[in-house]
Chain A
């Protein structure tokens, strides 16, 4: 889906609601997003879960950018907001920005489905292009996972005894990480200096070796890859 929707997304102005309780970060987001290029329009900045949900009701934005830890409880409001919106406004994309590298939150975010969800570390926010890419992806139903989070998963998975990951070549592991991060084949090809054809070959080989169901929809294969990587915990059961 993301691959097909990309061309049409270029011209669109994304309407956003941002939820972040820390002033400094909020200002950072503001500097990153509010430019003259009309690519995004921030409708409202919220500082807690309640005002975020109210703003969503009011503006019906294309994308919500939200922190995880916010008032009222300061635990996992961002994840909860994403889950609520999955029910009430499935068309709205959600970019969760977090200070946690922990895959736990990313996995929880993708629990109810990965379509239209992104998990980014907060420091990515300054990287305007990465942030805009994530916004574009979720707005069109795609998925993004911060590469650092994927790294943690891959490393953990590699340490498991007899891990199927050891059957993969290092190139294949890099491709898998790209898949898990929600990158399209083209993006993976670009970042790894491969041809799109080579990436596809690698992906076929990976999915065969790991015995995963082949699915060309990026958001679904992100989830499959993430779940596979996270499975290390369940394996001993």
Chain B
């Protein structure tokens, strides 16, 4: 069997998890959070003020509302991500995009330089939002994601920026941030060339289509291909952002004159979807926690049934939705992880596409879960599963410790009893083969001497009297030797030994011996034999005049049982201060893992029932060592 080398874990509070990431739910609010929140509030106020006083934007209320809403949700999302996934930079990315959103409010200012900054910040916001979507949840973009990113960059580098340089006045910030009349003067105007600007607008529009449609396709493919846990995380983000991205892509396709051909309702749709999209990042994190909570509940309820390690691993696989997830257990003495079959698991050399997460207390390693690497996206779940598994193992270990300590105690008790009975057996044999043998031989010679002396002579009579006394001495010695250890018990087992005991019983006794009792381990037979004898002696001593007893010995599938019942005086059983006889019996049986039950009441006789489990090595078939 696998030996769990698990150290105690006082509770989740002291749970520390080592691995590629850190856990840390419920990190307290720090100064950083307060500073960010204060900055956000200040930024929002400033943004609203600039837009309201600038008089540049056609729809200042809508523009301010969108920017402030974006800033607030992105800031909130950023702070939540920073707490929920401290090792991920995604939270900071969200905060940065939130900042860009606020800075782009400068596009509400009539001051050309500030307007320019607002305009560029708006571009930055678009790039940042795209980056958020292609890198979510903190994975470095690759392949198709870079196509999208580059088309976004190029939209501004070879479309937006050249157009800006030849446009006078400066172009509008966006559909919702379009200028009321003409926009403020272009602070970086190189040359006013409307035809060139129009040409660049076409380049910009084309690239923008690739960007928008590419992002849509990317998101759809990503969602379709994602593993279940990753999809769980992606779904809310994509659900929240796809309307906005769609509007963006459609706009790039249908509009030459950005936003100007659209009506107020279209602008409302753009504003609405843009306000909506950052909410996905918050939802994803909350959903992950809700799911982890559910998983925790499921695991906790299943682990109550005290499943085997294999079953625990199955449960982990099910909850993680990763059929190849494995549990690895830390063996402190060997300083290595092994799986449940005892095979070493080298975590740093986990297979491609696999990742791992270790759980333990302080510096003590206990357990690692080797999982599909996409699960790294869902550390809430991993932590919940790991912590629960850890507690389950801990429970097992505590119970095992308890059982072990019982086992140690029990083993020593058993050894003591076994030593005592083997000593008794030795004494009986010594008596039988030594003194008794000599006395019998002397008795034979005495008889022979008697014969030689002739029964009628005086010497003969003396010898005859001596013979009678000799016989009494022999009988007494026999009784003593037998009381020390009945040879029949070793030789024939409980049934003949108890039958013989019945012959010697001073109380009328009905004997009922099951045919199937067979042989048990020696310790077990001795324990039951002497318990029965003790019980019979109790009947003789306490049951009173005229009482009769019955002794039953039988076997059920799991144990050997006996009962000694009398119809005598009875007594009030007490758990404390009971007689030496009962204590002896209970100790004897206890030493072989058995139990004793005493049922009695004054005037209703007494029943003493004992049982010894045969499942744990007490069973038949043990060869007696003679």
Binding site for B on A (CB under 8 A): 22, 24-25, 27-29, 31-32, 69, 73-76, 99-104, 122-123, 125-128, 152-153, 155-156, 159-161, 232-237
Q: Which of A76, A125, A233 meets B491, CB within 8 Å?
A: A76
A233 CA to B502 CA, complexed, in Å = 7
Segment touching A, from B200-208, B309-317, B439-447, B575-583:
B439-447
User: Does the CB pair A99–B478 fall under 8 Å?
Assistant: yes
Annotate B513-536 by CB proximity to A: 1 below 8 A, 0 otherwise: 100000000000000000000000
Shortest CB distance B552–A (Å)? 8
A153 CA to B470 CA, complexed, in Å = 22
In the bound complex, residues from chain B placing their C-beta under 8 Å from that of A24 are 437-438, 440-441
A-B contact count (CB 8 A): 112
Binding site for A on B (CB under 8 A): 429, 432-433, 436-438, 440-441, 443-448, 450-451, 470-471, 474-475, 478, 482, 487-488, 490-492, 496, 499-500, 502-513, 548, 550, 626
Shortest beta-carbon contacts, A-B, top 4: A126-B447, A28-B444, A24-B441, A126-B444
Shortest CB distance B186–A (Å)? 116
List the B residue with the shortest CB-CB distance to A126: B447
User: Does the CB pair B548–A161 fall under 8 Å?
Assistant: yes
A214 CA to B550 CA, complexed, in Å = 32
User: Does the CB pair B437–A236 fall under 8 Å?
Assistant: no
Q: Which of A75, A104, A123, A152 meets B471, CB within 8 Å?
A: A123
What would 7 A/B residue contacts be, using CB atoms closer than 8 Å?
A24-B438, A100-B478, A104-B492, A122-B444, A123-B474, A156-B505, A237-B512
Interface of A is mostly: helix
Shortest CB distance B315–A (Å)? 52
A236 CA to B513 CA, complexed, in Å = 9
A27 CA to B443 CA, complexed, in Å = 12
A217 CA to B391 CA, complexed, in Å = 79
Q: Which of B441, B471, B507, B512 meets A28, CB within 8 Å?
A: B441
A102 CA to B499 CA, complexed, in Å = 10
In the bound complex, residues from chain A placing their C-beta under 8 Å from that of B509 are 159-160
User: Does the CB pair A104–B445 fall under 8 Å?
Assistant: no
User: Does the CB pair B506–A161 fall under 8 Å?
Assistant: no
A212 CA to B120 CA, complexed, in Å = 122
In the bound complex, residues from chain B placing their C-beta under 8 Å from that of A31 are 444-445, 448
User: Does the CB pair B510–A156 fall under 8 Å?
Assistant: no
Q: Which of B429, B490, B491, B504 has the most CB of A within 10 A?
A: B491
Q: Which of B448, B503, B504, B626 has the most CB of A within 10 A?
A: B503
User: Does the CB pair B444–A104 fall under 8 Å?
Assistant: no
User: Does the CB pair B511–A236 fall under 8 Å?
Assistant: yes
Shortest CB distance A194–B (Å)? 23
User: Does the CB pair B626–A75 fall under 8 Å?
Assistant: yes
List the A residue with the shortest CB-CB distance to B548: A161
List the B residue with the shortest CB-CB distance to A229: B503
User: Does the CB pair A102–B626 fall under 8 Å?
Assistant: no
User: Does the CB pair A22–B437 fall under 8 Å?
Assistant: yes
User: Does the CB pair A152–B503 fall under 8 Å?
Assistant: yes
In the bound complex, residues from chain B placing their C-beta under 8 Å from that of A236 are 510-512, 550
User: Does the CB pair A69–B471 fall under 8 Å?
Assistant: no
In the bound complex, residues from chain A placing their C-beta under 8 Å from that of B492 are 104
A39 CA to B510 CA, complexed, in Å = 47
A25 CA to B482 CA, complexed, in Å = 20
A127 CA to B440 CA, complexed, in Å = 12
In the bound complex, residues from chain A placing their C-beta under 8 Å from that of B511 are 232-234, 236
Asked if A123 meets B443 with Cβ closer than 8 Å, knowing A28-B448, A99-B478, A156-B502, the reply is yes
Known: A156-B502, A233-B499. 10 other contacts (CB 8 A): A28-B441, A28-B448, A31-B448, A99-B437, A101-B478, A102-B488, A102-B503, A104-B488, A123-B447, A153-B503
In the bound complex, residues from chain A placing their C-beta under 8 Å from that of B438 are 24
Asked if A25 meets B441 with Cβ closer than 8 Å, knowing A126-B447, A161-B548, the reply is yes
List the A residue with the shortest CB-CB distance to B451: A128
A104 CA to B496 CA, complexed, in Å = 7
In the bound complex, residues from chain A placing their C-beta under 8 Å from that of B508 are 159-161
User: Does the CB pair B474–A28 fall under 8 Å?
Assistant: no
A194 CA to B510 CA, complexed, in Å = 35
User: Does the CB pair B441–A104 fall under 8 Å?
Assistant: no
Shortest CB distance B564–A (Å)? 13
User: Does the CB pair A103–B444 fall under 8 Å?
Assistant: no
List the B residue with the shortest CB-CB distance to A129: B451
In the bound complex, residues from chain B placing their C-beta under 8 Å from that of A160 are 508-510
In the bound complex, residues from chain B placing their C-beta under 8 Å from that of A153 are 503
Asked if A233 meets B513 with Cβ closer than 8 Å, knowing A25-B440, A160-B508, A161-B508, the reply is yes
Shortest CB distance B448–A (Å)? 5
A31 CA to B447 CA, complexed, in Å = 11
A119 CA to B22 CA, complexed, in Å = 86
Q: Which of A73, A126, A127, A159 meets B506, CB within 8 Å?
A: A159
A76 CA to B198 CA, complexed, in Å = 120
In the bound complex, residues from chain A placing their C-beta under 8 Å from that of B503 are 102-103, 152-153, 155-156, 232
A29 CA to B445 CA, complexed, in Å = 9
In the bound complex, residues from chain B placing their C-beta under 8 Å from that of A101 are 475, 478
Asked if A232 meets B502 with Cβ closer than 8 Å, knowing A75-B490, A75-B626, A123-B444, the reply is yes
Q: Which of A99, A152, A236 has the most CB of B within 10 A?
A: A99
In the bound complex, residues from chain B placing their C-beta under 8 Å from that of A233 are 499, 502, 511, 513
In the bound complex, residues from chain B placing their C-beta under 8 Å from that of A235 are 510
In the bound complex, residues from chain A placing their C-beta under 8 Å from that of B451 are 126-128
In the bound complex, residues from chain B placing their C-beta under 8 Å from that of A99 are 432, 436-437, 440, 478
In the bound complex, residues from chain A placing their C-beta under 8 Å from that of B487 are 69, 75, 100
Shortest CB distance B555–A (Å)? 15
List the B residue with the shortest CB-CB distance to A152: B503
Shortest CB distance A200–B (Å)? 30
User: Does the CB pair B432–A69 fall under 8 Å?
Assistant: yes
In the bound complex, residues from chain B placing their C-beta under 8 Å from that of A156 are 502-505
Q: Which of B436, B438, B500 has the most CB of A within 10 A?
A: B500
A76 CA to B491 CA, complexed, in Å = 8
Shortest CB distance A145–B (Å)? 14
Q: Which of A32, A76, A156 has the most CB of B within 10 A?
A: A156
A236 CA to B509 CA, complexed, in Å = 9
A125 CA to B439 CA, complexed, in Å = 13
In the bound complex, residues from chain A placing their C-beta under 8 Å from that of B499 are 104, 233
In the bound complex, residues from chain B placing their C-beta under 8 Å from that of A128 are 447-448, 451
Q: Which of A28, A73, A75 meets B445, CB within 8 Å?
A: A28
Asked if A103 meets B474 with Cβ closer than 8 Å, knowing A75-B491, A160-B508, the reply is no
List the B residue with the shortest CB-CB distance to A102: B500
A160 CA to B548 CA, complexed, in Å = 8
In the bound complex, residues from chain B placing their C-beta under 8 Å from that of A234 are 511
In the bound complex, residues from chain B placing their C-beta under 8 Å from that of A73 are 626
A163 CA to B92 CA, complexed, in Å = 98
Shortest CB distance A225–B (Å)? 16
User: Does the CB pair B440–A123 fall under 8 Å?
Assistant: yes
A54 CA to B504 CA, complexed, in Å = 38
Q: Which of B443, B471, B490 has the most CB of A within 10 A?
A: B443
Shortest CB distance B533–A (Å)? 15
